[in-house]
Amino acid sequence: MKGGIGRNLYLAFCVAVFIFLIAPILVVVPLSFNAEPYFTFTEGMLRLDPDAWSLRWYRSVAEDIEWRRALVNSIVIGVCATALATVLGTLAALGLANPAMYGRSLVMTLLISPMVTPVIVSAAGMFFFYSSLGLAQTHVGLILAHAALGTPFVVITVTATLAGFDRNLMRVAASLGAGPWRSFWRVQFPLIAPGVISGALFAFATSFDEVVTVLFMGGLEQRTIPRQMWAGIREQISPAILAVATLLIAFALFFMLTVEWLRRRSARAAEA
């Protein structure tokens, strides 16, 4: 069959791309259960000998004070930056959705520019700026920096949900006597919530695996998980990093599933 060869080549190519993309992840996960302090599969592991597998690196991560501090930092900075980015991004998207707003596309471009600017450029810029304000090497500084990086995601996802939002609903709410505050929380917010939540998730993920800004701006006290991994790779080579990496992969998987679930939900709501 003539078409058969082309089709098989095509399939082989797809599988190759897939392996190329996924292989590093597939290697990291089993290696994190290594009983030995190596980054390679031991003979025992390959024989599936139960003794060659262990949770020791997970235990060492859980017991290590630096990893714990990194986790707390990641969560504190991530949550605060996400909250800030979500509020600001949602407000910006609401304003930008008003067709009467002057200079809409310019403001939109400015707001989402952190997404396209190389992080190293923004990070360097923020470092000098925040230093002069005394915010470098503080949690507040990192939270602000990560909020700036996360806001564009919120602006984009909320703008997308607002496109399907019937503005007449706000007029109806007003005609029924509701003030702007009540109209927003009772009518608009519940309907754009999927966009707000997925924007928040993107903002959190941005902060959670951001390393460049932290390298510039964070001191020892502000080390986040990715920053700690960076230190771990350079300073104390141990499969504990692989355990952390596996945890991050699990988090990413959970994150993607949640976003997809939200997307389907709002697609269903839009159909109705």
Contact footprint for another protein (CB under 8 A): 166, 168-169, 171-179, 182, 186-187, 190-191, 269, 272
The residue assigned the tokens 């700690």 is: 228
What's the min distance (Å) between Cβ of 212 and another protein?
40
What's the min distance (Å) between Cβ of 174 and another protein?
4
Between 68 and 265, name the residue whose CB sits nearer to another protein: 265
What's the min distance (Å) between Cβ of 199 and another protein?
19
What's the min distance (Å) between Cβ of 214 and another protein?
39
Q: Are 90 and 189 in contact (CB under 8 A)?
A: no
What's the min distance (Å) between Cβ of 114 and another protein?
32
Between 103 and 177, name the residue whose CB sits nearer to another protein: 177
- Give the number of other CB atoms < 10 A from CB of residue 41: 14
**In 3D, which of 212, 204, 207 has the Cα closest to residue 256?**
204
Between 188 and 246, name the residue whose CB sits nearer to another protein: 188
Between 178 and 211, name the residue whose CB sits nearer to another protein: 178
What's the min distance (Å) between Cβ of 224 and another protein?
37
Between 173 and 201, name the residue whose CB sits nearer to another protein: 173
Between 24 and 99, name the residue whose CB sits nearer to another protein: 99
Q: What angle do CA 130, 135, 137 make, to 5 degrees?
A: 105
3-class SS at 233?
A: helix
Q: What angle do CA 79, 82, 83 make, to 5 degrees?
A: 85
Give the DSSP letter of residue 263: H
Query: What distance in Å separates the CA atoms of residue 85 and residue 81, rounded to the nearest whole number?
Result: 6
Give the DSSP letter of residue 136: T
- Give the number of other CB atoms < 10 A from CB of residue 237: 12
> Distances from the Cα of 3 to the Cαs of 6, 11, 14, 260, in angstroms?
5, 12, 17, 35
Query: What distance in Å separates the CA atoms of residue 54 and residue 51, rounded to the nearest whole number?
Result: 7
What's the min distance (Å) between Cβ of 191 and another protein?
6
Written as one letter, the residue type at 108 is M
Between 120 and 169, name the residue whose CB sits nearer to another protein: 169
